[in-house]
Amino acid sequence: MASEAPVLPLLTPHKLGNFNLSHRVVLAPLTRQRSYNYVPQPHAILHYSQRTTKGGLLISEATCISPTAIGYADVPGIWTKEQIEAWKPIVDAVHAKGGIFFCQIWHTGRVSNSGLQPNGQAPISCTDKGLTPQIQSDSIDVEQYTPPRRLSADEIPQIINEFRLAARNAVEAGFDGVEIHGAHGYLLDQFMKDQVNDRTDEYGGTLENRCRFPLEVVKAVADEIGAERVGVRLSPFADYNECGDSNPKELGLYMINSLNKYGILYCHMVEPRMKTQWGKVECPHSLVPMRKAFNGTFIVAGGYEREDGNNAVAENRADLVAFGRWFLANPDLPKRFELGASLNKYRRETFYTSDPVIGYNDYPLLEDSS
């Protein structure tokens, strides 16, 4: 008898707290800008359910916690009753197929402009330093940013409360938990990184002070919905949105050790590497020390493909691997990995359009071509 093919490390089960995952392929949070007027739409039901497998973990697109959190057009929110109700059928569709669904909760901070803010006001941040204009992913349009307004220390509890309420609302909408977005140069990352945070009060200066606000958010959310329902996404090595740090390894380890005190479910970290047109470029840094230090489930993301995702799990560098662009273009990505099937190419020019079908719900499944 021929021996059976070995099971891919990515397709082995994992115990995620109270959840039993059937595989380790995670849908990464992906901003798609198809939630008109900041309300999730019915076309998201198909989008997420297409990418659901029994026992698979999905993380929603970044979801704004309040009107001041908005940094892009047509992203979803979760601060109103209408938004909560709009999320419910989307979450139900994922659960109907046996998926586990977390909502990523988000505040963009200074990565915004006054045209997106209530009453045309300036965005808020840890600083009043503005972002320089940036060319968008289509290589044509330029994103303009309004210089932010520095939050006073006595305003910070209000933002913490907005994160707490967003987490409560996510659970009301049916989500299994939340992922706090502390990465990619958005508000919490702006406080953590010394390239941006120029404060001299208790929320600036030392590493402990810079991490104070993000950790207060984690505590408030964990107290509200239970630490077993909470994940955090971090990108200590990234300088996305002009938000870098002079000692990213120290920052990452400090945050990991601090998160351990709250007993949260998982930490989702972005690899210190980048993708170029010539292929993958590895950075000299590593998440391994942080993986070893963290007590919960450790998720990695950052340009992974089938082979290096398998290696990350096999070498115990990660428990789970999040896939973005490849999951976007291949709704049945775990099945394609299992079969060694070819992958659909993603269409970058459709990532952030508002069309409810093109580049959103029109990528073919394997069964479509059988």
pTM tops 0.75, yes or no = yes
CA 300 to chain centre: 11
The DSSP annotation for 54-74 comes to TT-EEEPPPEESSGGG--STT
pLDDT tens for each residue of 63-113 = 999 999 999 999 999 999 999 999 999 999 999 999 999 999 999 999 999
Strand pairing category for 177-182 and 273-276: unpaired
At residue 27, φ and ψ (nearest 5 deg) are -75, 115
The three-point CA angle 38-44-45 to 5° equals: 135
Three-class SS state of 104: strand
Q: Catalytic positions, please?
A: 186
Helices (H), the chain: 43-50, 81-96, 156-172, 187-192, 207-210, 212-225, 248-262, 288-293, 306-314, 325-329, 333-339
- Please identify every stretch of the chain with a pLDDT value under 50, giving residue numbers as ranges: 1, 276-278, 284, 370
d(CA 21, CA 316): 17
Dig out the tokens for 355 from the structure.
């069309």
How many CB atoms lie under 10 A from the CB of residue 5?
8
List beta partners, residue 267. Answer: 232, 298
- Name the CA radius of gyration of the chain, rounded: 20
pLDDT tens for each residue of 266-286 = 999 998 765 544 455 566 458
Amino acid at 86: A
Contacts of residue 148, Cβ cutoff 8 Å, sequence gap at least 6: 109, 110, 112, 122, 123, 124, 125, 127, 128, 129, 130
Identify the pLDDT of residue 142. 64
Dig out the tokens for 72 from the structure.
């892009």
Q: Taking every pair of C-alpha atoms in the chain, what is the biggest distance, in angstroms?
A: 72
Contacts of residue 295, Cβ cutoff 8 Å, sequence gap at least 6: 260, 263
Mean pLDDT of the chain, nearest integer: 94
Dig out the tokens for 238 from the structure.
């990234």
Identify the pLDDT of residue 93. 98
